[in-house]
Structure 1
């Protein structure tokens, strides 16, 4: 029915057949026919027709004054706007991202990330520990129990690989915990904020963790289970702008922020903590955030070329190359 309907709506003469099975889902369908989505949504269709006719596309052509933005925006959603305003428009204004279905070949990074977040929150709420070994053993059991349940949803041939990846993440997380406890004691710090929600006029979000030293300076961190950052300042701009938003939350409470950083739990090098403490760099990031927010409020949704473009479902109807020189 879905295939017939899209052919009818778009008046397509030819369309490649789709093999329908129990593994098929709406997400697969939308990704496969992403280049036709501009024709399914009337507003997007009209915008696309207008933009296609323009030879020299500029940011001004992507100023969509008819869009209604709902504030406060999630800090993690705003990170999408930071690396590609156009994708933010499609995901969070048009709402295409809502069509999702789990991949049965992998335990998603989001699932593993949530599991690790929850276990670390539970662990660090007990700090300082009476018996660290017992606490780590409890964390291991909790992790292995949850992973065992998640593996039931994975196709049998993929389970050994996913179990191995999960156990490696657990092993590195435990190494991080030992490293981190020693670091906290050496630097005379304590974990002051764990998974706490905040909201202001424009943003909402949850701070993974903020440590405090004996001079009442705060150190804000996001836990990550993916690749370790190569250029943290650049990656905060493109991926982790929420750290700067969290800084604004705490500064509004009168707190002094000394450092912004990523805790890379899956870090092979054992460094784990990647942080910015240079005041000039942090101030520049604050200015960058304010400029981005101003841009969003003015309703600019232009495409930006980035490392994820080749994997983007919307690449078949994106004009990023036409405005690349301007960027």
Structure 2
């Protein structure tokens, strides 16, 4: 780092300390330069920073030093902050005068009293307890300045929901009710972790409530920025059909949806990318586009509207033009040209609404990032920029949306409690208040520091819970008028009732909590939000199509069912619209391994003495090179593949195997109008007339409970029982997963109850599919989805 003239944040303090200790003359210069020192937020300083303060203002010189700190707001332990610096300061600077600041100009007295009641649970590890002072804050907020809505109701409310969706909908309903007395920007939803925000985003969107997420950088996830990234990706790789699909659906083009569907069907039929299919289509109207060999596709050319043809030609010509500029122009120059030629620039420069202004600011910030990239990198081409953006997205990084004032837009603010420190809002919602969410579960440090080496004063209580309690205190005291606390009995697919956070009980008392727990079911249904009117069509909601819009195919596969379970919208893109996708490294690697083992065991059936050398040779012959991020990545995966196969051969292959079938196709009836088809990797014959159905897995082994619920193995049992395949008794069917990375072999058996449950689940999923209900299901899987560039739910 030093050779490159670079430092990280820790270096900035460390090297100054080293300089001051090794060069007294320099230290003296700065002591004279700064005779008066004021340190704000002193509770957030770490040991090194405190050492720096003591060097600049030595204890022996009676310095003009003022530090301001509140141990109740010490929430940066994870950054190395040491709340014990405050105690040490009193010991080190014995002549320091202590002034207790008790007047509070933000919150009303009810909020302050409740927060004080909470934080007292950190005794005896508080300054108040150790120094014998009082920190019970007094509100100086005049009653006349408080919002009338807050005076008419309890200023701290608690709501217990049955599900996370009910909790987030309740928050949206409360905001709608209070919006008559407050602006949307007066509301803040505070979450403990960024990924806790997703249900609340969905509920706000459904209710037509504007919001802004003020967590870590999400610039790359803004729809208008995703449009620009999609265009760069098209130029980077013309085979990137999802990105081109997004371009066609942009408002500036709005290509007819039915025509886009016809184009996708055409692409699938002729086995070409969406771009090539558009080129082939246009070649029949423009001789200059025609390529040799396109004649064979003439009979399949779709019949599209004249308006669609004109739009496609405009898009195609623009892409071709920009492809010609790749060698000479930077990504920023090409994107600016795209804005000009598409007509977007005129629209953006004549914005009339606040939401349009927000779009302009986001695009402007994206251009600033491109300019910064150009200034820091010699290569600022489309290829370099797309590589950088892809890498950033894969690592979960994205620039901040905006550095502007958080209240500049009239929108509900969603942010973490840590991000909210130093901010204030008239109405605050503290959500997801259950044990293991807030407070979070304690995670032991990977490398723990021996107590003998720790320089700070350690608390007598549970320091993790005390830190979480201080964080809760910070959340409460962000509110000026009202606080709404809420939690849910269940989150996600969990079946265990969650405990209400101890902090809620400490803040409100047992009586208030018991009132919520005793609310009757019929009373509770009146409190939940099922009746609010949707005031606008949410951007990530997929319009339901007539039930006869898509043909009701009777045949399904496990992959289709699993895709719909993961995300109905992903299913639509993949199996209804059939949008072509780029090959991925994991798919290419998995296919290579499967094909290798299939070919190896085909040879084995003929020659039982086949060896490991032959296995590796087959692997190299079957290698699929597409989808890898670089040549180095490909070579690394090749080595991993060889290692996986070597380990598998040594541990599990033996010459006594009795193989009944490889890559065996099956088709079974689930109900009168539902059939399930698939392919089994391998079937072995065992003793006592039993068989073993084998499936190879190149991914990581899931948790045991997930394995037991695995639908794929149960489907294999149904197939093996079928009279038209192996007609086996259930007790004679062994189901095995080989997790090749480990390597590990997991063998299970299924019972009739498992089969019955799986059949019911299949029927339920197919019934939902046939309703054409393809709403998105956002989650962590979005980060690995091939369609995230076109999906508005990826935020």
Same fold, TM exceeding 0.5? yes
Shift in CA distance, 311/293, structure 1 to aligned 2, threshold 3 Å: same
The equivalent residue for 2:536 is 53
Deviations 1:262-288 (A, max 9, x none): 222122xx32x2343253555533432
The equivalent residue for 2:617 is 141
| Residues in 1 aligned to 2:766 and 2:740: alpha-carbon distance in whole angstroms | 30
| Residues in 1 aligned to 2:598 and 2:750: alpha-carbon distance in whole angstroms | 28
Deviations 1:160-183 (A, max 9, x none): 33222222222222221332235x
Q: Is the 8 A contact 1:80 1:87 kept in 2?
A: yes
The equivalent residue for 2:489 is none
- SS of 1:221's partner is strand
Equivalent in 679, 682, 685 of residue 209 of structure 1: 682
Give the structure, 1 or 2, with the largest relative contact order (CA under 8 Å, sep 6 or more).
1
Tell me how far 1:234 sits from its aligned partner: 5.8
| Residues in 2 aligned to 1:260 and 1:286: alpha-carbon distance in whole angstroms | 18
The equivalent residue for 1:246 is 716
| Residues in 2 aligned to 1:35 and 1:21: alpha-carbon distance in whole angstroms | 17
Q: Is the 8 A contact 2:246 2:790 kept in 1?
A: no
Query: Is 1:295 equivalent to 2:771 in the alignment?
Result: no
Query: Is 1:196 equivalent to 2:664 in the alignment?
Result: yes
Equivalent in 730, 735, 740 of residue 260 of structure 1: 735
Q: Is the 8 A contact 2:583 2:627 kept in 1?
A: no
- SS of 1:301's partner is coil
The equivalent residue for 1:172 is 644
Query: Is 1:42 equivalent to 2:514 in the alignment?
Result: no
Shift in CA distance, 70/119, structure 1 to aligned 2, threshold 3 Å: same
| Residues in 1 aligned to 2:756 and 2:606: alpha-carbon distance in whole angstroms | 33
Tell me how far 1:117 sits from its aligned partner: 1.7
- SS of 2:589's partner is helix
| Residues in 2 aligned to 1:28 and 1:58: alpha-carbon distance in whole angstroms | 18
Shift in CA distance, 281/200, structure 1 to aligned 2, threshold 3 Å: closer
- SS of 2:553's partner is coil
| Residues in 2 aligned to 1:304 and 1:52: alpha-carbon distance in whole angstroms | 21
Deviations 1:169-207 (A, max 9, x none): 22222221332235x96xxx7332210112245222211
| Residues in 1 aligned to 2:249 and 2:704: alpha-carbon distance in whole angstroms | 33
The equivalent residue for 1:27 is 241
The equivalent residue for 1:120 is 597
| Residues in 1 aligned to 2:246 and 2:643: alpha-carbon distance in whole angstroms | 37
Shift in CA distance, 23/296, structure 1 to aligned 2, threshold 3 Å: closer
The equivalent residue for 1:325 is none
Shift in CA distance, 276/293, structure 1 to aligned 2, threshold 3 Å: farther
- SS of 2:692's partner is strand
| Residues in 1 aligned to 2:684 and 2:756: alpha-carbon distance in whole angstroms | 20
Larger mean CA deviation between 84-93 and 18-27 belongs to 18-27
Question: Rg: which structure is higher?
Answer: 2
- SS of 1:274's partner is strand
Query: Is 1:80 equivalent to 2:563 in the alignment?
Result: yes
Tell me how far 1:127 sits from its aligned partner: 4.8
Structure 2 residue runs without a partner (length 5+): 1-223, 261-533, 670-674
Please provide the CA RMSD for this pair: 4.2
Q: Give the paired residue count.
A: 279
- SS of 1:73's partner is strand
The equivalent residue for 1:110 is 587
The equivalent residue for 1:3 is none
Q: Is the 8 A contact 2:661 2:684 kept in 1?
A: yes
Equivalent in 145, 155, 163 of residue 635 of structure 2: 163
Deviations 1:300-324 (A, max 9, x none): 4343344312343347655699xxx
- SS of 1:308's partner is helix
Query: Is 1:233 equivalent to 2:694 in the alignment?
Result: no
Q: Is the 8 A contact 1:123 1:135 kept in 2?
A: no
Shift in CA distance, 314/119, structure 1 to aligned 2, threshold 3 Å: closer
- SS of 1:118's partner is helix
Normalization by structure 2: what TM-score? 0.31
